[in-house]
Amino acid sequence: MTSILPWIALLLPLVSASVIIGATRPLRTLSAFISVGAVLGSFVCATLIFFQQTSAASSFSWISLGSHFSVPLGLTLDPLSRSMLFMVTGVGALIHIYSLGYMGTDEGKSRYFAGLSLFMFSMLGIVLANNFVMMFIFWELVGVSSYLLIGHWFERPSAADAAKKAFITNRLGDFGFMLGILMVWNATGSLVFGDIAAGMARFTGHPVYLTAAALFVFCGAVGKSAQFPLHVWLPDAMEGPTPVSALIHAATMVAAGVYMLVRVGFLIDASLGALQGIAWIGTITAVLAALMATQQSDIKRILAYSTLSQLGYMVMAVGLASGQAAMFHLYTHAAFKALLFLGSGSIIFMLHHEQNIWRMGGLAKRLPITFLTFAVGTLALIGFPGFSGFFSKDAILALAYERSLPIFVFAAFTALLTAYYMTRLVVVAFFGSPRSEAAVHGAEAPPVMTIPLVILAIPAALGGFGFFATRFLVLPNEKEHLLVVPTIAFGCLLVGVLSAALFYRNRSSDPIDIELFRNRFYIDEFYTGLIKATQGALASLSSFVDRWILDGAVVRGLSGSVWGSGFLLRLLQVGNLQAYGFIFGLGIIGLIYFTVFH
Amino acid sequence: MLLFIVIAPLLTALLILIGAPARLTALLGSAATLIASFAAFFVYDTARGGFQFVSSFPISATWRLQFLLGADGLTLIMLLLAALVLLCAVWFTPPVEKSERLFYACLLFIAGGAIGAFASLDLFFFYAFHELALIPTFLLIGIWGSGNRSAAAWKITIYLGLGSFVLLLGLIMLYRSVPPELRSFDLRALQLVAASGGILPAAQNQIFFLLLIGFGVLISLFPFHSWAPEAYASAPAPAAMLHAGVLKKFGLYGLLRVALPLLPEGAQHWRTLLIVLLLGNIIYVGLVTIAQKRLDWMLGYSSVMHMGYIFLGIASANVIGLNGAAVLMFAHGISIALLFALAGEIRRRAGTLVFADLGGLGKLMPFAGFAFGVAAFASIGLPGFANFAAEVMVFFGAFRVGADWQGFHLFQVATVLALWGVVISAVYMLRAYRAIFMGAPNERLHSPFPDLSRTLRLPIVLLIAATMIVGFLPNTVLRLLQPTFSAPVAANR
């Protein structure tokens, strides 16, 4: 049965964004409520779709060139997209509501909510797209809305630079993505996921081509899901308002890369080489980002590196050929990481934009609801038994244990680091004595901000249990003999928590100083140098050639020698209508002369 | 109807020259042209296809010369572009201090010449109309230009003069390559001759080369591009809008209308050369664009760079690529006109377009910041705008040529490099946007710094709407292009 509901869910946020930009921009509160209304509408549609198990929607033609080329605009509705739709609109709705408080007095509130609506539209498009070009369209639109929201406070140079960096880094990944799409299209003659899946037999006998195509498609995910080596934009993206960090740079957009890989699993799983490459990229990201997180002092940046690291887990799971495990972790992560970011947002908001954990301290007493929910999020993130993250991380660890021991070792080490840096964060920010004026006077956030925290805490705590999770996805089957895996994981967790608690109890500055980690392995500096040495140098060289050789020597030489500059220059005194007319009249006369007399 | 569209701008220009109120008449005349073009767009019968609205006025029977007008889908899209940009350019003309009448007349002559060339089915008038449009371009730069205007006017005169000359040579050879009893200026007749093999491959190779270079100079094909940035930087904003947006498309239109269908063998022969040159446009000029330190030069170079994508669609010579090239001509025309219009307004307020002297304008001019952002994202091919739909077709069309399992060949490599160009254009556009609109307002900017007035917002909205309609629903224009590009060019089949 076809249904119009998915289209309504997709288009409501677009309508909201257009109305705000076109009409209600001066009325800031109205704009905010339009945006919230739209996302709630989408959420209702998504809920209906989810429970009615709608499986078809009408489709349109976007580009049609007869039999040569056609791009449809159609929607995929399967269990994967239905539950993702539900999650994205659900988390999105909560964060929209939270933003009513967080951005309450912001001058650019209308712009902010228009950006959020545009983001919801683009994200839902990625979730629902049934073909590669359509997915690419929304893929790019998500990039723009992210650019707009990171750069929301565009007067700040750091925010403006971060927005630019995010967009360009993503474009780099999209370069590979588009190339992968072209290769797949060339091989199968189709862009629609269903048709490609059915035509995979065409790749038989061309394993190299297949691996290359799959890895190029993966490039898109490397950019959007901020995997090594394109991870550099995500920490900087924290310059955006905190609800944006929660929604876009933790729960949904950065997960889009993982979602896309699962969506095209038929392509990825067909190539062993691609799987291996993907698994290792995920592993490297997970470990590196966790190491970087251990030495940050900005609360949002710690969470950002943690997001990188967790995305690494998801990509690892994709590379280990288990889309289910990846999606499981994606869902639980969406809940607890959105919770953590919103919690950090309520701290930042109540402490007048203080983000340095060393200038906090003792917040557990001052912001009790924030503290309790933040604690739930932390326990879920470090994988404490019983909390959602425990189950989903365990699924990935078990998978690694089964398929690749080296990856398992790295994954377990990352789990240890996760427990370590989160304990560090909680101990320093929430316990001990207040270390700044703002921290002394901190108070609990208003209900419009704390209620979303409480709601998010529920799935963050319970989301891993089978009775809850199986409604949303097919759980990867766990084998009995893998009890060893949770045991090792719990051991890692204990080591991490205890060592951090030991190091950081009652400290007022960081006792450990590892410059390499704090400076993100100097990867950003390396890139800056690399860009300067290659693109910058090439650009200057080309510019020099163009200015002084191509233009300078050739053009001036030509005008000087061939034409006899004296005569023509005098003739062509600027503004002399007759001279121009004469020269170009000559052309016409020439034409007549040649055609008539020859 | 077509005759009206061709004559309206020229007639308006004459009316202004004899004394009608300049600005009002120009606005009315260009609005009438736009409405008529729009009507023609809807009246055109796609089921029948081919050239419609044909009207002919014999001039000389012995030379088989006639004033012959006709339009197919490709023509109509170019007419729509020309009329739309003309209206917006007139609208965006600030108060002119010296010889206001001549200024408006020049704008109308540029558009009128371009429209006439697009609508001519006769090679003679096709060429003559373009020449007619060039003269006012030089005048606009020479008289009302800024910066080093005389050098810019001089350079563009030499360049475009040479280009036109080579083009003329090519057209003459084309005319003479046909057996004497079949000779004609009528494009339709020539197409029949070409289809029956009337133009020998050897002649095709020679003529195509001349046409490629001739048209190429007019389009700023690498390495004949260095006139463009300087001319656009010196030209008053409405002139830059019209030249970069519309008149430059004459060369591309010529390749699609004359060179490719009449000389398929020649096109095939010079394909590798064309690929190399167009990559020069995309990669080399792209890098030059990154190095620019002022907005007007950067926009000029970016416009040169984007010609590379249209060339790529033309070089692929298949249905997907040709449709993509045609839509991209339209899309680029809109976005570059928008960018030059806004750059002109910034220059009028700040007195400079050097990045280092600007900054934080987003705070001072929110609407301009919004519009420039839209235009910038349109020009770097963001989905939702016509440029993206067109570039997708160009990439898919080019990638398909000669593709196999073995690896990447000429066209695949070219597509990869062209895709890299998309990254390059994001770099320079976002850098410019960052430098001009973001950050804190530059201290050197003296207040007050008014945002765009309400009357100036209408043409901006008009241009944005045009590119978004085509971007959201590319089938609206593809429907019209279908009959023209329904089959690949012969040699590529």
Q: Based on the number of CB atoms within 10 Å of its own CB, is A501 exposed (0-12), middle (13-18) or buried (19 or more)?
A: middle
Distance between CA atoms of residues B47 and B480, nearest Å:
9
CB–CB of B419 and A175 under 8 A?
Answer: yes
Distance between CA atoms of residues B126 and B66, nearest Å:
11
* Helix, strand, coil distribution of chain A in percent, nearest 5: 75, 5, 20
Distance between CA atoms of residues B139 and B129, nearest Å:
17
Q: What is the pLDDT of residue A592?
A: 56
Cα B471 → chain centroid: 18
Distance between CA atoms of residues B57 and A105, nearest Å:
69
Q: What is the pLDDT of residue A575?
A: 45
- A342, A246 Cβ separation under 8 angstroms: yes
For residue A172, the chain B residues in CB contact (below 8 A) are 423
For residue B156, the chain A residues in CB contact (below 8 A) are none
Ranges in chain B, pLDDT < 50: 490-493
DSSP-derived secondary structure for B248-306: THHHHHHIIIIIHHH-HHHHHHTHHHHHHHHHIIIIIHHHHHHT--BHHHHHHHHHHHH
Question: How many CB atoms lie under 10 A from the CB of residue B303?
Answer: 28
CB–CB of A168 and B430 under 8 A?
Answer: yes
Question: How many CB atoms lie under 10 A from the CB of residue A515?
Answer: 8
Closest by Cα among B275, B277, B273, B300 to B288 = B300
Q: What is the pLDDT of residue A594?
A: 56
Question: Where do we find the tokens 């205007």?
Answer: B149
CB–CB of A591 and B439 under 8 A?
Answer: no
Q: How many residues does chain A have?
A: 598
Q: What is the pLDDT of residue B490?
A: 45
Distance between CA atoms of residues B212 and B268, nearest Å:
12
Distance between CA atoms of residues B456 and A85, nearest Å:
41
pTM to 2 decimal places = 0.92
Residues 6+ apart with CB under 8 A from B200: B177
Chain A nearest-CA residue for B390: A63
**Element containing residue A259 per DSSP (H, E):** helix A253-263
* Contacts with B, A 103-162, CB within 8 Å: 133, 136-138, 140-141, 144, 151, 154-157, 160-161
Which runs of consecutive H residues, i.e. helices, occur in B2-148?
A: 2-18, 22-43, 73-91, 100-119, 123-144
Distance between CA atoms of residues A221 and A173, nearest Å:
7
Question: Measured between alpha carbons, how far is residue B297 from residues A325, B137, B291 in Å?
Answer: 52, 18, 10
Q: What is the pLDDT of residue A573?
A: 46
Q: Is A66 on the interface with B (CB under 8 A)?
A: yes
Q: What is the pLDDT of residue A585?
A: 61
CB–CB of A539 and B287 under 8 A?
Answer: yes
B69 DSSP β-pair partners: B55, B120
Which of A580, A586, A593, A598 to probe by mutation at the B interface, max B CB count within 10 Å?
A580
Closest by Cα among A336, A339, A370, A509 to A442 = A370
Q: What is the pLDDT of residue B310?
A: 96
DSSP A24: I
Question: Where do we find the tokens 């078809």?
Answer: A56
What is the distance in angstroms between the Cα of A193 and the nearest Cα belonging to chain B? 17
Distance between CA atoms of residues A552 and B134, nearest Å:
24
CB–CB of B284 and A577 under 8 A?
Answer: no
Q: What is the pLDDT of residue A542?
A: 85
Tell me, what amino acid is at A215? L
Tell me, what amino acid is at A340? L
Cα A207 → chain centroid: 30
Distance between CA atoms of residues A325 and A389, nearest Å:
12
Q: What is the pLDDT of residue B449?
A: 81
CB–CB of A186 and B399 under 8 A?
Answer: yes
Distance between CA atoms of residues B295 and B300, nearest Å:
8
Distance between CA atoms of residues A251 and A191, nearest Å:
28
For residue A584, the chain B residues in CB contact (below 8 A) are 131, 134-135, 161, 164
Question: Where do we find the tokens 């399967």?
Answer: A78
Backbone angles phi, psi at B120, to 5 degrees: -80, 130
- B341, B459 Cβ separation under 8 angstroms: yes
Tell me, what amino acid is at A302? I
- Which among A172, A187, A546 has the least Cβ separation from residue B288? A546
Q: What is the pLDDT of residue A479?
A: 59
Residues 6+ apart with CB under 8 A from B389: A62, A63, B327, B331, B383, B470, B471, B474
- Which among B63, B153, B392 has the least Cβ separation from residue A574? B153
Closest by Cα among B186, B31, B3 to B108 = B31
- Walk along chain A (598 residues) and give the pLDDT tens digit of each residue: 467 899 999 999 999 999 999 888 888 889 999 999 999 999 999 999 998 888 888 888 999 888 889 999 999 999 899 999 999 999 999 999 999 988 888 888 999 999 999 999 999 999 999 999 999 999 999 999 999 999 999 989 999 999 999 999 999 999 999 999 999 999 998 999 999 999 888 888 899 999 999 999 999 999 999 998 999 999 999 999 999 998 888 889 999 999 999 999 999 999 999 999 999 999 999 999 999 999 998 999 999 999 999 999 999 999 998 888 999 999 999 999 999 999 999 999 888 888 888 888 888 888 899 999 999 999 999 999 989 999 999 999 998 998 889 999 999 999 999 999 999 999 999 988 888 888 888 888 888 889 999 999 999 998 888 777 777 777 776 655 568 888 899 999 999 999 998 888 888 888 888 888 888 888 888 888 888 888 888 888 888 888 877 776 666 655 554 444 444 444 444 444 455 555 556 665 665 555 555 4
What is the distance in angstroms between the Cα of A106 and the nearest Cα belonging to chain B? 14
Question: Where do we find the tokens 């509408």?
Answer: A41
Cα B188 → chain centroid: 24
Q: What is the pLDDT of residue B491?
A: 39
Token pair recorded at residue A537 = 């140098």
Distance between CA atoms of residues A132 and A121, nearest Å:
17
CB–CB of A591 and B377 under 8 A?
Answer: no
Distance between CA atoms of residues A269 and A278, nearest Å:
11
Cα A513 → chain centroid: 30
Distance between CA atoms of residues B308 and B279, nearest Å:
7
3-state secondary structure A547-562: HHHHHHHHHHHHHHHH
Q: What is the pLDDT of residue B425?
A: 93
Q: Is A4 on the interface with B (CB under 8 A)?
A: no
CB–CB of B63 and A596 under 8 A?
Answer: yes
Distance between CA atoms of residues B412 and B331, nearest Å:
24
- A221, A257 Cβ separation under 8 angstroms: yes
Q: Is A212 on the interface with B (CB under 8 A)?
A: no
Chain A nearest-CA residue for B414: A179
CB–CB of A155 and B392 under 8 A?
Answer: no
CB–CB of B164 and A178 under 8 A?
Answer: no
Q: What is the pLDDT of residue B30?
A: 95
Token pair recorded at residue A127 = 């979730």
Between chain A and chain B, how many beta carbons pairs sit less than 8 Å apart?
Answer: 187
Question: How many CB atoms lie under 10 A from the CB of residue A61?
Answer: 14
